[in-house]
Amino acid sequence: MHTYDFAAIGVGPFNLGLAALTEDLPDVDGIFLEQQAEFDWHPGLMLDGVTIQVPFMADLVTMADPTSRFSFLNYLKQVGRLYPFYIRESFYPLRAEYNEYCKWVARQLPSIRWNTRVDTVTHDGEAYLVHTGGETFRARKLVLGIGTAPRIPAAADQGPYVHSADYLPNKAELQKLDSITIIGSGQSAAEIYLDLLNDIETYGYHLSWITRSPRFFPMEYTKLTLEMTSPEYIRYHQGLPMEVRDRLGREQRNLYKGISGDLVDTIYDTLYAKSLAGPVATTLLTGTSLTGVIWDGDRWTLALEHLEQGSSFTATSRGLVLATGYAPRVPSFMDPVRDRIKWDARGRFDVTVDYAVDRSGNEIFVQNAAEHTHSVTDPDLGMGAYRNSVILRGITGREIYKVEESIAFQQFGPPTADIPKALVTS
């Protein structure tokens, strides 16, 4: 049986980037396994005109290899859109455009096996055996990139709710209802709210948006804050005690789970324009937590708590959209090799600074499964190429793509040497 250097399971943007970065390396032999028939990134949220929240340089390869033929700019050149993108003068690609770019890259990568579902992973004493429905692949190392799963609040796990991931296929049915409620605080909740708000007079529904956040907060995007997506911050955050990391994870949500400032303003301007004709049939509630739901076969009754006042109340709605984000998952197909994996005290992957989770520290690597150890950098598309450079270094034992270790002006944590007296203030 042929033995690959590594087998990558799941092909989202991060493992797709790894496939692109290894495609032209003759001495690196990897196989990529994906159960879907083709690449398709968040199809349920492919709303007209929405953009990704990172600049075009956060493509699959550029931050590791700016000369790569798989860059977003080369995609634009090849499909005849480079000059229109230049004239547009925006760093932020359309979400649909980014998806088409990824599909363009995927079509050029013979290392990807589509329609290949992994059933189980075992170990034969020397290498991993990845078993699929009709074939077994043997590899020295693994890269897990299965993505995250929709997070459904326990209180709402009943009835015909719609998670934001499935919004577009269900939009037409939602708009037939007399009332729709959106639960959530981030970009997806805001995009869906605006999309439904635009048609509110046409369909005549009452539209509610309820969030437990204290305000409809914009994502913080100042430049010194962006330095938290840096190798230095990764090392700093990963080295903190687990309890501190978990606390920071809750406190830092506005750094990567907020709403773009332009979208917040567009929502207000839309409400303002619609209010010229009279009150808008909408309810906006902040600081409000969903504590329970009842579906009676026709309508939702939502049990809600206002967090600042400590008061409880209810609301009813025919439609319920849960824009409640995503959660990491440990795939069941890894059960036979669980004893080879390091776990933290809360049953999560214990991820090293180099993204390994196995006991030896260089066999099993993870993509977008380390938010609890690597903080805001983990789901960030802009850090995908950096992480893949680090993972490739771990797989091959050499630095194929230069890994920048120090890019920030600021220091995280106390300095390692005395601060010059001239810089000390009382």
Residue 250: per-residue pLDDT = 82
CB 33 within 8 A of CB 132: yes
Distance CA 64, CA 257 (A): 25
Hey, which residues does 224 pair with through a beta bridge?
none
Residue 426: per-residue pLDDT = 45
- H/E stretch holding 163 reads strand 162-163
DSSP reduced 3-state for 326 = strand
| DSSP H helices in 254-377 | 261-274, 371-374
CB 366 within 8 A of CB 354: no
CB 253 within 8 A of CB 179: no
DSSP reduced 3-state for 52 = coil
**CA distances to 11, 12, 32, 184, 347 from 114, in Å:** 9, 12, 8, 33, 31
Q: Enter the tokens of residue 309.
A: 């006042």
Task: Judge if pTM exceeds 0.75.
Answer: yes
Burial of residue 124 (number of CB atoms within 10 Å: 0-12, 13-18, 19+): exposed
Residue position matching structure tokens 């203030």: 425
Distance CA 59, CA 382 (A): 7
Distance CA 357, CA 242 (A): 15
**Full pLDDT tens readout for the chain, 426 residues:** 999 999 999 999 999 999 999 999 999 999 999 999 999 999 999 999 999 989 999 999 999 999 999 999 999 999 999 999 999 999 999 999 999 999 999 999 999 999 999 999 999 999 999 999 889 999 999 999 998 889 888 777 778 999 999 999 999 999 999 999 999 988 999 999 999 999 999 999 999 999 999 999 888 888 998 899 899 999 999 999 999 999 998 888 767 778 988 999 999 999 999 999 999 999 999 999 999 999 999 999 999 999 999 999 999 999 999 999 888 889 999 999 999 999 999 999 999 999 999 999 999 999 999 999 999 889 999 999 999 999 999 999 999 999 999 999 999 988 877 777 555 554
DSSP state letters, 373-425: HHGGGSS-GGGHHHHHHHHHHHHHSS-SS-------SS-SSS-SSPPPGGG--
Residue 421: per-residue pLDDT = 56
Residues 6+ away with beta carbon under 8 Å from 243: none
Residue 122: per-residue pLDDT = 98
Strand ranges (DSSP E) for 286-349?
A: 288-295, 300-306, 311-317, 319-323, 326-327
CB 385 within 8 A of CB 63: yes
The Cβ of residue 26 has, within 10 Å, a number of other Cβ atoms equal to: 5
